[in-house]
Structure 1
Amino acid sequence: MHKKVFSILSVSFILIPNIMLSSEIKTNNVSLSDVTIVSNSDENKQSYYKTEANSVTRTDTPLLETAQSVQIVTDDILDDMGMVSLDDTLDYVSGISRQNDFGGVWDNFSIRGFSGHENTGISMLKNGFADNRGYNAPRDAANIESIEVLKGPSGALYGNTEPGGTINIVTKQPKFTNENSITTMAGSDDFYRLSADLTGPLSESFAYRLNVAAENKKSFRDYIESERYVVAPSFLWLINDNTHLTYMGEYIRQEAPFDRGIVAFDGDLNGVDHKTFFGNPKDDNMVLENFTHQLMLEHDFSNNWSTKIGLAYKTGDFKGTGAEVKPFVNVTTDSLMLRSRYKDFESDDISLQADVKNVSTIKGLKNTLLFGIETYRYELDFALYNLNNTVRMDNIRGNPTYTTLATGKGNIIRDENQVQRGMAFFAQDELALSDSWRLLVGLRYDKIDTQLEEYKKGITYSQNDYALSPRIGLTYLINPNWSWYATSGKSFRPNSGLDKNGNTFEAEEGISLETGLKFESDNKDLGASLALYRIDKENVLTGSDPSGVYSIAAGEVRSQGIEFDISGKLNSHIKINANYTYTDTEVTKDTGGAVDWSTGKVVNLEGKALSNVPKHSGALLLMWEDDLSNNSSYGIGSNVIYVGKREGNYINSFKLPDYTTVGLLSYWQVNKSLKLKFNVNNIFDKEYIASSYDRSWAVPGSPRRFTLSMNYKF
C-alpha cells in the first residue's frame, strides 16, 4: 500500500513545475525570513564551514559552545567535489575509515575504529531518525544538504550507537523562492547521470521540493554495471505563525552485480589484476530498494517553550543471487571454485519521536532544557540460500574464464524473522554557568526487546536489553574565537545470537573520555578543532569458539587517538578542508579467541588491532576562486587523500598497504544560470585496496577517472 501512495505522491510532484509555469504564485502576505542577495560570482564562494549542527544537542547551540567534536560536510564541498554518494565524501572527515562495502552494495564505515554491526555497519541517522536498521541501498547525494559527523558517544540522545560516533544526513528543505536546476554528468567507464532539484511555493503557506536522479555506470572492473534511481519529494506547510509541518519522502533503487572484490593469490594482493571479477557474469543484478517517509510537526507555545513530534517509516528490500569466493580461502592455483548465494531480505521500520524544549533564564543564566521520548518497531525477514561449486574460474591471473556447473537457489541455510521493539526516555540540560562556562548533562534510558524465530533450527528466543546512557560536557569560552571542552559519555549496542549454552549476550557497552580545542574566525568563515580521546568497549563478540559455530562475548576493545580538522575560507580566494587522524586500536581482552578459518586454529586476539583502521590518515582539499569578466567566475583546486597501512582482517594475518591519491577539480560559472565542472580523481592512477574483509574479499580502489558536469538554473 505504501508503494502505491508514494507513487501517486511522486507523480504529483513531477507535475509541479508545469503548474508553476502556468500560474502566478502570490506571496505578498507571507512573512518570510530575511534573504541575502549575492552576485553571480559570489554565490560560488560560500564557506566550507558551518557554525551549527542541530543534531549534536537537538537544539541550536553553536558548535564553538558544544562539548563534542563535530565535523560537517557542507553542500559546498559536495558541489565542488561533484559527490553523488557517501564513500568518497567521508574521506574528508577525520577518524572515518572505509569498511568492506561488498562492491558498493551498501555504505559501510567505522568512526574512531568502531564499525558497528558486521554487515549493516554503524548507526546512521537521517534528519535525526535512525536510517540503517537492516540492509539499505547506498545513500545518494541528490537530496543531501549536508552530512553531520558527531564524534564520540551520542547514546544520551540517540540510544543504540557506537562509541566512535554517529553520522546524521540532513536533507534539502523546501523554500518559498523558486529555485530550479538540472544537472547532467558524464565520465569515465560510461558514467552518466541526470538529476533535478526543483523548489518553490505553491501557495502563501505551502512550499515543495523535488529531487530526482537517474544514474547508469560501468566500472573499471569486468562485468560490473549498475543503475540507480532516486525520487525524493518534500513539502513545508506553514499552518500558522507558530506551527509548521514538514514531510520528506525518498525512494532509492539500485541494481548492481554482487561483487566481493579480488583475492590475494598465495597471500599476494598484487598477484591478481584489480579488474578481475570473482563472480558469475551470468548472474542477474542484486536489487536494493528503499522507501522512506518522515513527517515532523513543530510548534512554538511561546518564546520559551516549543515541541517537535516526528514519525518515520522505512521499508527495505534486498534480493538477488551472487556468486563469490568462499571467505578465508588461501588461493594458490589458477583455478577456483565459487559458491552462489541467493538473498531475500525484507525490512519494515517505524519510529516515533517527541520532545519538548524550554529556554529560560535562571538568576541571569541561560538554561536550555530538552526532554522527550522515542519508540520504534523494526522487523526483518531474512532468507539465505547456498549452493556450493556453482562456477569454476580458470586462469584467474590472466584472462579468466567462467564455467557454470550448477544453477538454482540451493539449500536454505538461514531462515529467520526478527522483531525488535524499543522505547526510550531522554533528558538534557545546557546551562550557561557564566559568560565563559557552559555545562551539558544528558541521560537516556533505553529498553529494547528482541524476538528471533529461526525457522531452520526450529527455535525461538527473546532478548531484553536495558541501558542508561549518560553524558557530561564542560566548555570554556577562552575568547570569542577559541574554546576548550572536555566530555565523557557512554554507549551501548545490543548483541544478537546465542552462545553454546543457548544464552543471549550482554549488550556491548562503551565509555569515552575526550578533550579538545575549537577555533572560529571573527567572520565565522573558518573553523578548526583538535580532539584527543580514549574509548573502551566491553562485551564485544570477538569471534567463534573452537567449534566455529557459537560466538563468544569475551572481548574488550580500546581506541585512542588525535584528530585535527580545519575547514572554511582562508581569504577571499582560498577555501580549505583538511584533516589528520592518528588512531590506535587494540583488543585489550580476549578470553575466547577467534578461529583462523584458513588453518582451523584458534587465535587469541588480545593485542591485535581492529581491521581496516589505519594509524595515520589525512585529506586535503584546496580551492582557489576568482572573478572573470562579464560577471562570471572560476575555481580550480586539488585534493589529496592519504590512508596508512591497515590490518586486512580481524586476526591480523595480513596488512593492506598505505596509499595516496591526488585529484584535480575545477569549475566555470559562465553566468548566473550555467555552471560547468571538470574533475579528475586519482590523477596518477594509483592502484590500491580500499578495504577488505579477508584475503579472499578485498575491494580495489578506483583508478584514474574524470567527470564532466553541467548545472543549469532556471
Structure 2
Amino acid sequence: MNNFKLSTLACLVTSAVFSVSAVANSVTDIDTTVVKAKRPNYKTNTTNTAFKMDVSQLETPRSVNTIDRKLLDDLQATSLAKALENDASTVKTHESDGHENFYIRGFELTTNEGYLRNGEQKYSLIQEPVEMYELIEILKGGSGLLYGQSEAGGLINMITKTPEDRQRTMISQDIGSDNFYRSVVDTTGAATDKLRYRFIASKQTKENWRHYPDGKQPKTDRDLFAVMLDYDISDDTMLALTYDHKTQQGHNDSGAHFDENGNIVGDRETILDMPWSDNEKKEDSYGIKLSHEINDDWSLSASYHYLDMANSARTSSVSLSKDSATTGNYKFGTGKRDNSYEVHTASVDVNGNFYTGSIDHNILIGANLVNHVYHRNSNWGGKKIEVSINPTKPTPGYDPSVMAPASGNDYRRQTYGLYVQDLMTFNDQWQLLAGLRLDHYSKERSSNDKKDGKGHDKIYNNVIPNASLLFHPNQDSTIYATYS
C-alpha cells in the first residue's frame, strides 16, 4: 500500500546583492566557521524492557530489536504489520476477521501470551494503532524470560507515548491505495506545574483489495481515543493514569479456497464469505502506575492495568464440494459469536544500585500477576446453504433460524511470578548477569466442566534460571554467552 502524508511547508528566502565594483576594490578577512552535523539514525542507546532496568544496548545479552518513533514516522507506519516489516525475524499472516497475526522465528504469537504493553501482558485482537506508541520492541527467543509464560519465538512489546512538558499539537492526514484514509490528532502539554496531559484521537478506514462476486469491496474502520495523565505528587513521586478506547468494524475474509484437486474457486480476488459476514470489536483499557525515587540509588514502581474487550461477529463458514472450482457452487454455514474478555495485570518492581567491595550491582526484585477470564457465547453448525460465485444468482441473507442452538462457556486462568536479577560489573571489560523467576500458573476447569463434574484444574510451578557473561573488548562492542 502506498501512503502519502499531507503537510504544509513554509520557506523564508533571503538574498543579498553585492556591488561588483565594491567587491573588486575591497578585501575583508572572514573568520572560518566550521559547521558540524550528526546524521540521525535509528539506533537506540538504552533498553529497559528485557531486564526491566535502564541498561545500554551493549549491556543487554539478549536479542532485542527496537523500532523507535523516528523510524515509525519515516516508514509512515499505519499498522503494527507495517512497523514490523523492519524486523527480519517477524512475519505477518492472514486472519479471517482482520486482526494482525505474527510469527517470530517461525513460532506463532498467540493473542494470549505474545504481546506486552509497557511491559505487562496484553490481549491483542484489534489492529494496533501505532500512532499511540513511542517504541515497539521485539524480544526474540528467551529475551522475555522475566515475563513468565510466553511463546518460543519471543514477544512484542508496545510502549505508549507519554505526556510532555512542552505544548505541542500534531495533526496529520494519511491517504493511500484501496481507499485508505487515516486522520490523527495528537496533543500534549502541561496543564499545571505538576500535571501533564496527552490526548490522541484517530480514525482510519481501508477497503479490502479483494471483492465479493458482485464486485463490491468491504472495508474495515478503526477508531481510537486515548488519554494519558502524569501528576507529580512530590519531587520524588509520580502518578500516571491512562485510558484508551478502541473500536474496529470489519468483515470476515477466510481467504482463497481450493478444491481437492488444488483448483481455486473463482480467483484470488474473490471473497467467498457472505457480504453480511461482519465483525465488531471493542476494547477499553484502564491503567495506573506509581513511580517513586526512594533515594539516589533505589526506586520503586507499581502498576495495575485492566482490559475489557468484546468480540462479536456473524460468520459464514465455507465448505466446498469436489466440483466447486468447475461449477462455482459451494455451501456455507451460518454462525454467530459474542465473546468477551477481562484481563487484570499488575506488577511491583524495586530497582537498586550498590557495591560489594569493587563489584557494582544493578539489582531488580519484582512480582507480577495476570488474571484472565474468557466468556464464550456462540452458535456453530446448523443447516448448510448452497450459493454460487455467479453474480447473477441471488445471495442468501443472514438467517439466524438455520443456526445450531447457542452454547457458552467460561475459562479462567491466573499467573503469579516472583523474580530477581543482578547485573554485576567487575570492571570496564567484564560483567555477569544472573537471574531467577518463580512461576505459578493455574488454569481452572471451564464452567461447563464444573457443572458436569468433568475434568480438573491444572496447576504448574516452574523455576526459570538464567545467566549471562559479558565481555567488552572495546567501548563499542560486546561478546556474551547466555544460559537459560
Q: Which category describes the TM-score, using the shorter chain as reference length? A: 0.7 to 0.9
Q: Is the Cα–Cα contact under 8 Å of residues 175 and 182 in structure 2 kept in the other structure?
A: yes
Post-superposition offset of 1:99? 3.2
Change over 3 Å in CA distance of 1:179–1:337 after alignment to 2: same
Which amino acid in the other structure matches residue 128 of structure 1?
G
More off after superposition, 296-305 vs 184-193:
184-193
Correspondences of 1:542-553 after superposition (within 5 Å): none
CA distance in 2, matches of 1:353, 1:328: 53
Match of 1:302 in 2: 295
Q: Distance in 2 between matches of 1:379 and 1:91?
A: 32
Question: Structure 1's 174 and 399: CA in aligned 2 closer, same or farther, altered over 3 A?
Answer: same
Given candidates 217, 230, 234, the residue that maps to 1:240 is: 234
Equivalents in 2 of 1:330, 1:480: separation in Å? Answer: 67
Query: How far has the Cα of 1:311 moved from its partner?
Result: 0.7
The answer (yes or no) to whether the contact 2:44–2:66 under 8 Å persists in 1 is yes
- SS of the equivalent of 1:281 reads coil
| Partner of residue 194 from structure 2, selected from 191, 205, 226 | 205
State the Cα distance separating 1:329 from its structure 2 match. Answer: 9.1
* Aligned CA distance change for structure 1 residues 359 and 219 (closer, same or farther; 3 Å): same
Larger C-alpha radius of gyration, 1 or 2?
Answer: 2
Q: Secondary structure at the match of 1:472?
A: strand
Q: Check if 1:438 corresponds to 2:434.
A: no
The aligned residue for residue 400 of structure 2 is 408
Aligned to 2:305: 312
Q: Which has the higher contact order (CA 8 A, sep 6+)?
A: 1
Q: Which residue of 2 aligns with 1:128?
A: 119
Q: Aligned equivalents of 1:138 and 1:327: distance in 2?
A: 30
Code of the residue aligned with 1:212 in structure 2: it is: A
Counterpart CA distance in 2 for 1:342 and 1:243 is 48
Answer yes or no: is 1:141 the counterpart of 2:130.
yes
Q: 1:389 to 1:94 in 2, by over 3 A?
A: same
1:227/1:328 Cα in 2 relative to 1: closer, same or farther (>3 Å)?
A: farther
Q: CA deviation at 1:122?
A: 4.8
Structure 1 stretches of 5 or more lacking a match? 1-41, 490-714
CA displacement 1:114-133 (0-9 Å, x = unmatched): 2144xx3652000011111x
Q: How does 1:645-660 map to 2 (within 5 A)?
A: none
For the residue of structure 2 that corresponds to 1:88, the secondary structure is helix
Please tell me whether residue 338 in structure 1 is matched to residue 327 in structure 2: no
Superposed counterparts of 1:204-223, under 5 Å? 204-222=193-211, 223=217
Secondary structure in structure 2 of the residue aligned to 1:455: helix
Whole-Å Cα distance in 1 between the matches of residues 113 and 334 of structure 2?
A: 27
What CA distance in whole angstroms lies between the structure 2 residues aligned with 1:179 and 1:267?
60
Question: What TM-score do you get using the length of structure 2 for normalisation?
Answer: 0.85
Answer yes or no: is 1:77 the counterpart of 2:71. Answer: yes
Look up the equivalent residue of 2:470 and give its one-letter code.
T
- SS state of the match for residue 156, structure 1? helix
Distance 2:300 2:321 in 1: 52
Contact 1:379 1:417 (C-alpha < 8 Å) held by counterparts? yes
Structure 1 residue 450 displacement after superposition: 1.6
1:114–1:162 contact (8 Å) kept in structure 2: yes
Contact preservation (8 Å) 1:280, 1:391: no
Q: Give the share of equivalent positions with the same residue, in percent.
A: 23
Per the alignment, residue 413 of structure 2 pairs with: 420
Give the letter for the 1:476 counterpart: F
Question: 1:422, CA displacement in angstroms?
Answer: 2.1
Partners of 2:321 and 2:47 lie apart in 1 by: 42
Query: Match of 1:325, SS?
Result: strand
Determine the structure 2 residue equivalent to 1:108.
Answer: 101
Tell me the CA shift for residue 181 of structure 1.
0.8
Aligned to 1:350: 344
Q: Does the CA-based 8 Å contact 1:316-1:347 persist in structure 2?
A: yes
Query: What is the CA–CA distance in structure 1 between the aligned matches of 2:433 and 2:334, rounded to whole Å?
Result: 52
Partners of 1:279 and 1:402 in 2: how far apart?
Answer: 14
Question: For each residue in 1:642-685, what CA deviation from the matched residue of structure 2 results, as whole angstroms up to 9, or x when unmatched?
Answer: xxxxxxxxxxxxxxxxxxxxxxxxxxxxxxxxxxxxxxxxxxxx
- Which sections of structure 2, spanning at least 5 residues, go unmatched? 1-36, 212-216
2-side partners of 1:328 and 1:308: how far apart? 59
The letter of the residue matching 1:250 is: D
Which residue in the other structure is 1:378 paired with?
372
> Is 1:448–2:441 an aligned residue pair?
yes
The alpha carbon displacement at 1:251 in A equals: 1.1
Q: CA RMSD in A?
A: 2.5
Give 3-state SS (helix, strand or coil) of 1:403's partner: coil
Higher mean displacement: 346-355 or 149-158? 149-158
Deviations 1:467-494 (A, max 9, x none): 12222222211211111122232xxxxx
